Chain A
Amino acid sequence: MAGLAVERITYDFRSKRALEDVTFTVEPGRFCALLGPNGAGKSTLFALLTRLFVARTGRIEIAGHDLSRAPLAALSRLGVVFQSSTLDLDLTVRRNLLYFAALHGISGREAERRTAEALDRLGMAERAAEKAGALNGGHRRRMEIARALIHRPSVLLLDEPTVGLDAASRAAITAHAHDLAGQGLTVLWATHLVDEVRAEDRLVVLHRGRVLADGAAGEIGGGDLTAAFLRMTGATA
């Protein structure tokens, strides 16, 4: 059973083809980078993976559940960090986490316990009563990741989660996501930044809606992933 399987997904926006015959799988507990320049179709693919859109052709499987046949079972195994922030900035950090827990069927003491645990892990326990809007960008992102894990999903999707962050926060969050994969979570990390990909990662290169490469990052890059990526996507350095 794959952690995440995408089979022959094709998707059009009106007459424009956004994704063409996209196929790849991510084994459980692997970190997979979905690398592509802006406009490659990464966000469209994320919208399909989270069932904001439904593709007419192809198949998506999350932790063994077919997204179109058993959408609720599949979504319950999925944690998502969207590209744009989805926090309620007017509400407190704790309220944000409790709200999400309730949407996933977790309430009462259990929700309080998981919220406290999540904040402890982030070293943010003392900030629970602060409004989310008071947190800096890096903390907000970490909090969104912690929130996406509250219902203990098997698969975590992150859509360019380091956009707008400084170098230190970017490195910390990238390392954090790699650690999560090390603990058994299947991670799909969309990015356009080559330096966020490690040689041992699984790598899928997406360009103009097509998969150009799929395999171990070290092998695809052959020692210089940046050059390989630019060569593949036709850009000049």
Chain B
Amino acid sequence: MSWLLALKAILMREALRFLGQKGRLVSALVRPLVWLFVFAAGFRAALGLSITPPYQTYITYEIYIVPGLVGMILLFNGMQSSLSLVYDREMGSMRLLLTAPLPRWWLLFCRLVAAALISVLQAYAFLVVAALYGIRFPPLGYVAALPAILLAAMMLAALGLFLSSMIRQLENFAGVMNFVIFPMFFLSSALYPLWKMAEASPRLRDLCQANPFTHAVELIRFALYGKGNLLALAVTAGAMLVFGALAVWGYDPARGLASRKA
């Protein structure tokens, strides 16, 4: 009972903070929308796309890029929520959370779910704008995508949580943005299909294939057409468990935090 109460309180706190920061939703939407309206429009002519699953016909580049941009929202948000964890820790509210009489892994899990739900909200806001722009998916796809987007958001939030346990200062976090977000995003199937990447370099394609973010994007891409992708599901879920376990390890009072000052 007290476990669920804590979950509810943490979700409520994150929701109130999110609503309190009015610029956050707008700035979360601006980034993918610029990519969609400007980058994708410019690249439509440059890139020819062949018919690969889940697509059954030729598609425009704008349609191809949307699941990747949903992934981008989740990726940035996962990292941003861990930025707020680092900031929280400096401000002290992470300490307050960790001294609650509940298992630490549960408290971290609650933070993870809260961060993921806010990501999902932003992802759907983006899908709505894309639909208004004319990029629509089958109605069932919007429903089927919910668990896929939630799982991907949890996986990326868990990665962010783990990184936050390893980072001492906000300054270092800017480095992580460059070393984590950009490679993860560009070495994935978010912007270009992997067969296209293989034409350029098979080695790069292999790197993309090994990137869990690729699988998160593919999971969302397939789900948006009401289809499943077992490999993508397995890799995304597996990565979430691994990152989650690393985060719990990172926040273990006897280990991770022990090596640095309060």
Contacts and interface: CB of A to CB of B under 8 A. Distances in A.
Interface of A: 13-14, 43-44, 46-47, 50-54, 56, 71-73, 75-76, 78, 80, 82, 84-88, 90-91, 95, 98-100, 102-105, 107
A77 to B, nearest CB: 9
A52 B98 contact: yes
Contact of B253 (A54, A84, A103): A54
B259 interface: yes
A86 B13 CA distance: 14
Contacts of B97: 103
Contact of A86 (B5, B95, B103): B95
Which 6 residue pairs spanning A and B have beta carbons closest together?
A: A102-B9, A105-B2, A86-B92, A76-B101, A103-B100, A54-B254
Given A50-B99, A103-B100, A44 B262 contact: yes
10 contacts: A52-B98, A53-B254, A72-B101, A72-B103, A91-B20, A98-B9, A100-B96, A102-B9, A103-B100, A105-B6
A82 B96 contact: yes
Contacts of B96: 80, 82, 86, 100, 103
B262 A103 contact: no
B93 interface: yes
A88 B9 contact: no
B203 interface: no
A13 B168 CA distance: 14
Interface string B93-118: 10111111111000000000000000
A190 B109 CA distance: 32
Contact of A13 (B16, B98, B100, B260): B260
B38 interface: no
A86 B97 CA distance: 10
Given A76-B101, A85-B91, A90 B253 contact: no
B262 A53 contact: yes
A86 B91 contact: yes
A14 B99 CA distance: 24
B92 A99 contact: no
A104 B101 contact: yes
B17 to A, nearest CB: 6
Contacts of A107: 5
A76 B101 CA distance: 5
B20 A90 contact: yes
A155 to B, nearest CB: 12
Contacts of A51: 98-99, 253
A129 B98 CA distance: 26
Interface in B1-28: 1-2, 5-6, 8-9, 12-13, 16-17, 20-21
Nearest to A44: B262
Contacts of A44: 261-262
Contacts of B16: 90-91, 95
Contacts of A53: 253-254, 257-258, 262
Given A82-B92, A85-B91, A102-B9, A75 B17 contact: no
Contact of B6 (A78, A91, A102): A102
B89 to A, nearest CB: 10
Given A52-B262, A86-B95, A91-B13, 17 more contacts: A14-B259, A43-B262, A50-B99, A52-B253, A52-B257, A53-B257, A84-B92, A86-B91, A88-B17, A91-B20, A102-B6, A102-B8, A102-B9, A103-B6, A105-B2, A105-B5, A105-B6
Nearest to A84: B92
B100 A85 contact: no
Contacts of B17: 88, 90-91
A14 B260 CA distance: 8
B99 A88 contact: no
B13 A99 contact: yes
A13 B92 contact: no
Contact of A103 (B9, B254, B258): B9
